[in-house]
Structure 1
Amino acid sequence: MALTRAEGVAMNSVLPHVALSMHAHDRHGLERTDEEWLDAKWKDPSTRVLVLSGTRIRPVDRQIVWVTPQEAPADGLRILLGTREEATHFAVVVEPDKAPGDKQEWHVLRALLPALENDVLTAPLVMHAIGMAEWHWATRFCPRCGGPLDARQAGHVLECLDCGKQQFPRSDPAVIMIVTFGEPGSADEMCLLGRSPAWPEGRFSTLAGFVEPGETMEDAVRREVAEETGVEVGEVTYFGSQPWPLPASLMVGFSARATSTDIQVDESEIAEARWFTREQIRDEATSGAVVLPGGISISRSLIEAWYGGSLPGHW
Structure 2
Amino acid sequence: MFKALILDKNDSGVEATLQDINIDQLPEGDVLVNVEYSTLNYKDGLVLNGAGGLVRDYPHVGGIDFAGTVEDSSHPDFKAGDKVVLTGWRVGEIHWGGYAQKARVSGDWLVALPDGLSTKQAMSVGTAGFTAMLGVMALEDHGLTPDQGEVLVTGAAGGVGSVAVAILHQLGYKVAGSTGRADTHDYLKELGVSTLVAREELAETSKRPLEKERWAGCIDAVGGTTLARVLAQLKYGASAAAIGLAGGNDLPATVIPFLLRGVNLLGIDSVMCPKEKRVRAWQRIQSDLPLEKLEDMTQEAKLEDLPKLGKDILKGNVRGRVVIDVAGS
TM-score by length of 1: 0.30
User: Which structure has the bigger radius of gyration?
Assistant: 1
Structure holding more helix per residue = 2
TM-score by length of 2: 0.29
